[in-house]
A = this chain, B = another copy of it.
Amino acid sequence: MSWNRVAVVGAGLIKFGELFEQSFETMAAGAFRAACDAVDHGFDPQSIDAAFVATQRGTLWGQEGISGNTVPTALGLAGIPCTRVENACPSGSDAFRVGAMAVASGVHDIVLVIGVEKMRDKSTEEGLLSRAAAGHPILTRGETAPVLFAPFATRHMYEFGTTREMLASVAVKNHHNGALDPYAHFQSEITVEQALAAPAVCSPLHLLDCCPQTDGAAATILVPAERAHEFTDNPVYVAGFGVATDHPYLHEKTSFVGLDATVLASQRAYTMAGVGPSDIDIAEVHDCFTITEILDIEDLGFVDKGKGGVASLEGETSLTGRIPVNPSGGLLAKGHPIGATGVAQMTECWWQLRGQAEGRQVEIRNGYALQHNVGGRGSGVSVVNILTNRA
């Protein structure tokens, strides 16, 4: 595979949270402004020649279903080519990949990738759950997200001796990191005791094992690598990416101690980037639940299968650990506004590689950051993007 390299020259997000006071368009505009302002040598927003918008929730609130053609107007960019990319929870990370391919193809030069999601304006009853009556196939079976991931936790406990304390250690770490991230939804520390004592959602997952429902938006600006120095003296490059699908339903899975799509997507990304797990300095991974981060760090190759719980408990994934994971606070503390999540993770990777992550900065040795999402009905699709500060 030979492709034209792509650089990320701007990235930014709005503070995640319950943003009842901001419209869908306001959130998008805020993230866009943040990304433009982050371009070191200054940036004319009108120079953008194409955009990709990630929004997952279609037609529930009204705007998202056709956000590809409503967002440009909100950004003052009406006229540009703009396309909505949706791929369940990895919508944002997949939009980033599609945007990178648009630049690499030679068709578009300066590409905006923006993720935006309204999660809180409607009650659960008015949102997805209201579709249950019309035969929504997940909800009529009670297959909400905690129900889809809990069996992975129980099986991981059974096979590898993973404990609720190990799960809790992931939540404690990510809330610690979130407390250092001014963009995080939750910015306060929690204790293991609090996590263990939290009410059960779907055993063994309790409230603090679960990510919140969060509103948010994030944006990145991509250009051909050979043009990067017009925009910055400190560019970050797309080293590689990989996507893999899997059978979407739980009854089709062959394993409940790992997510095959993540293994396959990461293998593809590592191959494209010409690196391996040991080259990664920092990873932003999909911790929709504590057990998911444990599966992720195993499936991405950071630790052996079955060792994710112990590694988390022993601090290997902390800010100063062997492989810092989710310095931003992750989905558990920063939040999970679906379409925005992957783009926000890329922004954190971009900051980390540029040494701009302030109180949560990790040590960059090899110059590689990895971003990961998994989603669908449990794990129907996984996306891995790898960034580097190596020219």
Contacts and interface: CB of A to CB of B under 8 A. Distances in A.
A153 interface: no
24 contacts: A1-B106, A4-B105, A58-B64, A59-B131, A60-B134, A61-B135, A62-B136, A62-B137, A66-B87, A66-B248, A66-B375, A66-B381, A70-B248, A70-B376, A73-B252, A78-B247, A79-B245, A80-B245, A81-B245, A81-B268, A83-B94, A85-B85, A85-B86, A98-B102
Among all A-B residue pairs, the 3 with the closest Cβ atoms: A58-B58, A81-B243, A69-B380
A126 B65 CA distance: 17
A72 interface: yes
Range of interface residues on A (Cβ < 8 Å): 35 or more
Contact of A88 (B69, B85, B128, B268): B69
Interface string A119-148: 000100010101100111110000000000
A4 to B, nearest CB: 7
B88 A68 contact: yes
Interface of A: 1-4, 50, 56-66, 68-70, 72-73, 77-88, 94, 97-98, 100-102, 104-108, 122, 126, 128, 130-131, 134-138, 242-248, 252, 261, 264-265, 268, 272, 375-377, 380-381
Contacts of A56: 65
B243 A83 contact: yes
Contact of A104 (B79, B80, B106, B264): B106
A79 B244 contact: yes
B88 A86 contact: no
A95 to B, nearest CB: 9
B83 A131 contact: no
Contacts of A107: 1, 3, 101, 104, 272
Contacts of A57: 58-59, 65
A119 B295 CA distance: 38
Contacts of A81: 242-245, 265, 268
A242 B131 CA distance: 36
B86 A4 contact: no
Given A105-B105, A377-B66, A126 B130 contact: no
Contacts of A101: 98, 101-102, 105, 107-108
Given A66-B380, A82-B243, 7 more contacts: A1-B107, A50-B243, A65-B86, A68-B94, A68-B245, A70-B380, A130-B134
